[in-house]
Amino acid sequence: MYEPAHHPPVPVGVFVRRLIGHFAIVLGLLAASIAVGMLGFHHFAHYSWIDAFLVSAMLLGGMGPTGPELQDDAAKLFSAFYALYAGMLFIVASGVLFAPVVHRVMHHLHWRDE
């Protein structure tokens, strides 16, 4: 995916495009996750669309759930699994965003201009 160790580091413009590509991947993951959360909270908890968006966004943002107490067991199960998913998504998104930066730093440290 990236240039091998025996090649020089890519120019800044290529690196910035790589960062933008990784950012677009994370935005796609977030958009899909918000959509799944909205559908789940609308279906299982019978929240309005705006409330389903709020709860999904709050869980993905790490703030925790908001809104009325969930009464249905299916809604509680969905909320619990969605919260676990949101925590894992945070780790994945961080990795995807930091990968090009870490690679570039490591490449600069190990590449020798011969």
Residue 96 · residue 28 · CB < 8 Å: no
Query: Would 4 be classed as within a structural domain?
Result: no
Whichever domain contains 55, its CATH number is 1.10.287.70
* pLDDT tens digits, one per residue of 87-102: 999 999 999 999 999 9
* Predicted structure pTM score: 0.83
Give the model confidence (pLDDT) of 43-100 as tens digits.
999 999 999 999 999 999 988 877 778 889 999 999 999 999 999 999 999 999 999 9
Q: Are 41 and 76 in contact (CB under 8 A)?
A: no
Could you tell me the residue range of the domain that residue 71 belongs to? 12-110
Count of domains forming the chain: 1
